[in-house]
Structure 1
Amino acid sequence: MTARLLPFALLAALLWAMAALHLLPLAQWPAWPLDPARMDIPQILLGFGLMPRGVVALLAGAGLGLSGAILQAVLRNPVADPTTLGISAGAQLALVIATMLAPSLLDGGRWPVAMTGAGLAAGLVLAIGARRGFAPVTMVIAGMLVGMTASAVATAMTLARGEYLLSLVIWNGGSLVQGDWSGVRVLAGVLAFGAVASALLARPLRVLSLGAEGASGLGLNVAGVRLLAVGVAVVLAGAVSAELGLIAFVGLAAPALARTMGAASIPRLLALSPLIGALILSVCDGLVLLVADHVGEMFPTGALTGLIGGPLLIWLLPRLRGSTPPGTERAEGPAPRRDRPAPLLAGMALALVIAALVLVWIGRVPGGWAVLDAESAAAFLPMRLPRLIAAAAAGASLAIAGAILQRLTANPLASPEVLGVSGGAAMGYAGVVYLAAAPTAAMLMMGTMAGGAVTLAMVAAFVSRREMPAERVLLAGIAVSALAAAVLSAAMAAGDARSFQILGWLSGSSSAVTMPGALALATLAAVLWAGALAARRWLAVLPLGAGIAGGLGLPLRRARLLLIALAGMATGAATVLVGPLSFVGLMAPHLARRLGLARPGDHVAGAALIGAGLMLAADFGARMAGFPYDLPLGLFASLIGAPWLIWLMTRPPR
């Protein structure tokens, strides 16, 4: 089995040796032990830079591989790893917050902060999973969404503090650059701890593989073993995040490849996964060094490892055993149904108009809060009105897309963010930025709309060909989102002007919107709204299932394609303004349904009005919280959406 790894080990060694020889001929390599007083600059770069970097790649890869193997074994979930369960993103967010808001916390090192963030993220995901019996689909959905939220907040905070921008962008991408051997010593100690702990856990994990009931019957403390195993995995992943930043999906790939090589038992899985993880990260870092030697630019290795995660997760989906995810209508209980929704919709529309007027007249001035007089309001109106119109139109578009997707997939957890539509729209935006010499607003909007529609079509085609249940649509979309995040991370790590344009857009801002752009977005939202209302019969029948819909004469293929295109265009148009993550598309349709707007037309209308109101609130917060500077709109939308998402997924089934 290990003989099959020999070519990869030779490749990793060859790539590192090529980088080392490019830096310094073999005859001039420094002798051991290394003494910087007797070394010139190239020798110091080799002995205290490239050499520890090569060892750190092996140690970090081994740690992530072992962490993923432990998580997959204890949760009986083949797509669990520190990335898919949000552990690495939790550590990343904690370190970003500490760096910006409380740097004194880092005086004792980054470890305590990283472990706290990783532990809190893991605890949240485990709490959600425990309410649903640790179902694999539930765990991955919860973990990926917690991770997406943490990454979105970290990105927005990074953008908001310009003095940390470049260093945090590179660090968030997972940089293996070393300046001494301290990282090697730290990670070696952590890996030794993980090896001992995994050896002690191997037998309990074998018993747990029989199932919780069977293991309890044999006298195993199931809860204790789960906590210990997850704790070890968190320590391994948190240590790597503290030293190197966010390195994605090595913990997912290593155990998957170990199984394909015949590691059927848990002891073999725990033994082989660290070796494969070490080789994966080492080869990826060698490729980064090779590219840097030829083009002169260095980008974080973690950005490259992330590119394998999305395709690998999609490949693993047919092999994932799962159950219905949380949040289905049956689990939440029947939603109320309002007989006369017209008065409620009229009241919501009136409240939206009043809120917009209030937001025009109130604000902050150097002396504090104030209600503007008529002259000041007239002066500020040309600046405030476009962004209010644009924010409301973007919120309505995302809500319409969410309502369509939830009915199309018959799954109330579906939303543009979850199904990868926002990620595809983000790649479309980045593609226009990099391919067009001087991209216009119209080009950027067309690119994001096309990216969203194409991505959703690909996800739907992938799932329909394999006849997967509705919850697999969510995981396929999350895999696309992960791939999109990796592509964007690799693009931004280059550090040129286009990278910072993409980074600024990721957090979302309406500060630069013009009146023509706002009116165009509002017109498009109205057209999409009308299209969704025209398709209300399809939206009423599709949640009943393909069999019933086909029996009622619904043109399934055409209906799905048109609805996919509609949702993709709505998401793409809104994403240009608010960035790829806001959760408005998840919240607004839920709130509308809970208000009794059950009929498709009422549901879409109510969701659109609620989405517009939520985005107005987010825009107001973005303007006021950091006065006199505008903070990222996407950050505030995410902060509104994250508590709702967590509450939704922690509700016990009925």
Structure 2
Amino acid sequence: MTTPLAIPQSARPAYLQQGWCWLLLALAGALGIALSMHTLSAVLPPLRWWTVLQQTAPAAVNELIFTQVALPRIVISWIVGASLGLAGVLFQQILRNPLADPATIGVSSGAYLALVVATLFAPALLEWGAASVALAGGVLAAAVVLMVSRRSRFSTITVILAGLIVSLFCGAAGASLTLLNHEYLNGLFIWQTGSLVQNGWQNVHYLWPRILVLATGAALMARPLGMLVLDDARVSALGVHVARVRLGALLLGVALCALSVSTVGVVGFIGLMAPNLVRLLGARTFTQRMALAPLLGALLLWLTDQIVQTITYFPNPIPAGSGSALVGAPVMLWLLFRQKSGLQARVVAYERMARRPRLSGRQVQLICAFLLVATVLAGLGSGRGPYGWEWFPTTTLGTVIDWRLPRVAAAGIAGGMLAVAGMLLQRITGNPMASPEVLGISSGASLGIITMLFVSVDLGTDGMLLAAFAGALLTLLLVLALNWRSGFSPERLLLAGVAISTILTAIAACLLTSGDPRTATLLTWMSGSTYRATLAGAAPAGVALVLVFGLALLGARWLRILPLGEEAARALGLHVTMARGCFLMLIAAATAGATILVGPLSFIGLLAPHFVTALGLQRPRQQITAVALIGAGLMVCADWVGRNILYPWQVPAGLVAVLLGAPTFLYFLWRKQ
């Protein structure tokens, strides 16, 4: 079975073989011990440690903190890190994709959404324990992914896409409730960033026996899981029931992640980083990776937590989940780009995902254009006001021009640019799960605005646009610099983009947890709100959309050739590096423009291209036209719903796009099986 992205076993760095792996792990362990002794010494002098440990009931406050806070925090970091590392190995093995991690299955977002809903609407459920509620939410989210993927026998692409959509949906629903009830859910926002702060040994006693049982189950499945490096047909010929093995491993990974997340919060990047690092450190077989990844995951989270405890610059402590990304992502980038051998990707023929069309390409484009016009007219002429619903006859011209036209224009232009960027990215990488935010441009723009907020007293619209542009441009230059020598190969581009985006998002999360009252406004903008949109800002963006659209049409021939692979593309006379570089610039410009206009949206670039393939369009020119129309229409519709569904309160258009589009996309995905 072909996969969107896979790293062969032979692609490992020679300079990290012959014991270097164990040496690096030993050095990491020694550093963890040194930092732990430093943090523990700040609580209690080392000469008193043994005496306090022998006491049954510590008397002094610092002794109580030492035994019931500091020591459990270290142990819980080991358990959670090992659990996430093992879960990441399982997911990457069964999905044959190095970009897979526990978040792919939607467990973290599902757990967070369950806690938000229980806190607001059913607080009695919390009497059973927050861990039980979060675990139920994570399992339910994973169950949706498995249900959608069942008819395809849990194929790689289906599971990844379904998990990503469920994760986005749960995250958007949780963010919407957080924005509408910000004063009640600050604690959950901190929990979402991952906190290892402990108050006793209850979490340790709860986690370790359950994690041990799940790890034993994973070890018993090591042999059939190791065979999944082959395609499904060969594995079945060897007597392995592929669907059952994949389902069992998925359930084990979900349980590992859900238990950890429900206890300490969302700790990201460990499950993605640990398996990739052990592979780069020389682990060839699945058994070696399964043994080393939990060890490395425990070390990474332990080191991260000790490092963030020594940083006292911020008024509030840095969450461990954000710190894990700040510590781990640069290390992963260093190892990735020191690797001498190129990573080879097996691409998916993009046209194979399209259904057999019932209408011609021109007819589909006309229908998309008609729907866009109808959506724009509805957005301009209808809506709720102080005196109820207003329709075309009763809507004043001033209301349309001053209030609705800027938002409709901003939403449509941003949606069109994101959709075109997503379609281009999916075609040049041959990866149906690729989307514009993979490049990290949106995260860079967000970080620019957040940074300017904390260094400027008053950040107006012009300053916001300038900060977003600077952040997006710097991120673009970093992506280009890291991928220049590799010729912008798809697999390096995606891995680097994920790492950079994670770093920037983690920095933004650290700043947002500072307690500044303006963070509510930032959260609204980051969710894709158009409330700051103006005609003056939308006009240049409209020109940019026309340029992006025209240049994409000019490169239609390249788009038809690139998914065939590098060798075939070169045989047809295409300069692959130049073509990828041009499209990369175009994708980055479109994503940055949309982010500057309405915020870092994260779904239209994935949803719109799949709608196009579901409609049966295969030619690049037809896809570019249709995807721009569909993306613009989806965003205008999302903005209209967000403005009216909870009037006078408003839900950001980006969140509405996820809430409306995710179920529709899951239906299409289920129906295609």
- TM bucket normalised to smaller: 0.7 to 0.9
**When the two structures are superposed, what TM-score results if normalisation uses the length of structure 1?**
0.83
Distance 2:44 2:407 in 1: 56
In terms of mean alpha carbon deviation, does 451-460 or 623-632 score higher?
451-460
Out of 266, 288, 292, the residue aligned to residue 246 of structure 1 is: 266
Amino acid at match of 1:24: L
Retained in 1: the 8 A contact 2:138–2:258?
Answer: yes
Opposite residue 633 of structure 1, the aligned amino acid is: A
Deviation at 1:639, TM superposition (A): 1.4
User: Aligned partners of 2:664 and 2:77: how far apart in 1?
Assistant: 38
- Residue of structure 2 aligned with 1:147, choices 147, 162, 167: 167
Query: What amino acid is aligned across from residue 330 of structure 1 in structure 2?
Result: R
- Mapped to 2, the partners of 1:487 and 1:406 lie a distance apart of 27
CA offsets 1:278-305 (integer angstroms, 9 cap, x no match): 221111110011113x666411111011
Structure 2 residue aligned with 1:298: 317
Letter in 2 for 1:31: V
1:540 equivalent in structure 2: 556
- 1:529-588 per-residue CA deviation (whole Å, 9 max, x = no partner) reads 331354365232221326999999999877766654454343333324543234223444
Cα distance between partner residues in 1 of 2:347 and 2:570: 23
Farther off after superposition, 518-527 or 302-311: 302-311
Give structure 2 stretches of 5+ with no counterpart: 1-18
Distance change (3 Å), C-alpha of 1:319 and 1:123: farther
The residue that corresponds to 2:352 in the other structure is 330
Q: Which amino acid aligns with 1:356?
A: G
1:103 to 117, 123, 129: 123
Distance 1:233 1:408, change over 3 A: closer
After superposition, give the CA deviation of every residue in 1:364-390 in whole Å (9 maximum; x if it has no partner).
658x65659848886787444443343
Does the alignment pair 1:529 with 2:550? no
Corresponding position: 1:31 with 2:52: yes
Q: For 1:238-387, list aligned pairs within 5 A.
A: 238-260=258-280, 262-292=282-312, 297-307=316-326, 310=329, 323-325=346-348, 328-333=350-355, 337-339=360-362, 347-348=370-371, 350-359=373-382, 362-363=383-384, 374=394, 382-387=402-407
8 Å contact from structure 1 (residues 418, 481) kept in 2: yes
Q: Are the equivalent residues in 2 in contact too, given 1:58–1:279 (CA < 8 A)? A: yes
- CA displacement 1:610-645 (0-9 Å, x = unmatched): 433322221222222223222233210211332344
Q: Secondary structure at the match of 1:356?
A: helix
Cα displacement (A) at 1:246? 0.6
User: Contact between 1:407 and 1:539, CA under 8 Å: does it hold in 2?
Assistant: no
Decide whether the 8 Å contact of 1:64 with 1:82 is kept in 2: yes
CA change 1:232–1:33 in 2 (3 A) is farther
Which piece of structure 1 moves more, 227-236 or 181-190? Answer: 227-236
Q: For residue 201 of structure 1, what is the aligned residue in structure 2?
A: 221
Instruction: Pick from 446, 451, 468 the counterpart of residue 448 of structure 1.
Output: 468
Aligned residue type for 2:216: V
Q: Is the CA contact 1:324–1:471 (under 8 Å) kept in the aligned structure 2?
A: no
**For 1:338 and 1:208, how far apart are their aligned partners in 2?**
39
Whether the 8 Å contact between 1:135 and 1:323 is mirrored in structure 2 is no
Q: Which runs of 5+ in 1 are unaligned?
A: none
CA shift at 1:65, angstroms?
2.0
Is the 8 Å Cα contact of residues 131 and 652 (structure 1) preserved in structure 2? no
Aligned to 2:248: 228
Which residue does 1:466 correspond to in 2?
486
Greater shift after overlay, 295-304 or 65-74?
65-74
Letter paired with 2:262: A
How far 1:23 sits from its partner (Å)?
A: 2.4
SS of the residue corresponding to residue 225 of structure 1 reads: helix
Q: Are residues 1:116 and 2:136 paired?
A: yes
Q: Structure 2 CA distance, aligned partners of 1:445 and 1:279?
A: 40
Distance 1:153 1:340, change over 3 A: closer
Equivalences, count: 643
Contact 2:78 2:298 in 1 (8 A): yes
Q: Which residue of 2 aligns with 1:493?
A: 513
- The letter for the 1-side match of 2:461 is A
How many Å apart are 1:93 and its aligned residue?
Answer: 3.0
Q: 1:210 & 1:508 partners in 2: Cα distance? A: 42
Q: What is the aligned-residue RMSD (CA, Å)? A: 4.1
- Measured in 2, the distance between the counterparts of 1:337 and 1:201 equals 49
Residues 117, 444 of structure 1: alpha-carbon distance in 2 compared, 3 angstrom cutoff: same
Q: Does 1:56 align with 2:79?
A: no
Letter in 2 for 1:247: V
Between 334-343 and 53-62, report the one with greater CA deviation: 334-343
Question: SS of 1:31's equivalent?
Answer: helix
Q: Does 1:519 align with 2:541?
A: no
Residue 309 of structure 1: how far off its partner (Å): 5.6
Letter of the 2:275 counterpart: P
Q: Residue type matched to 1:627 in 2?
A: Y
Deviations 1:62-100 (A, max 9, x none): 222222233344445444331344333333333333333
Structure 1: distance between partners of 2:180 and 2:465:
24
| Percent of pairs with identical residues | 36
CA-CA distance at 1:201 after TM superposition:
2.8
Match of 1:510 in 2: 530
Select the residue among 95, 104, 110 that pairs with 1:90.
110
* Residue 598 (structure 1) shift: 7.9
Task: Quickly say closer, same or farther: Cα 1:638–1:472, change in 2 above 3 A.
Answer: farther
Residue type of the alignment partner of 1:63: S
> Residues 425-466 of structure 1, C-alpha deviation per residue, up to 9 Å, x if partnerless?
333433443455543322322343454455456556756743
Cα 1:183/1:218, change in 2 over 3 Å: same
Using the TM superposition, name which of 183-192 and 386-395 deviates more.
386-395
Match of 2:87 in 1: 67
Q: How big is each residue's C-alpha offset from its partner over 1:172-205, in whole Å with a ceiling of 9 and x where there is no partner?
A: 1100111121111111222222333234333443
SS of residue matched to 2:647: coil
Give secondary structure in 2 for the equivalent of 1:363: strand
Higher mean Cα deviation, 98-107 or 380-389?
Answer: 380-389
Partner-residue secondary structure (3-state), 1:162: coil
Q: Which amino acid aligns with 1:332?
A: A
Verify: 1:636 aligned to 2:656, yes or no.
yes
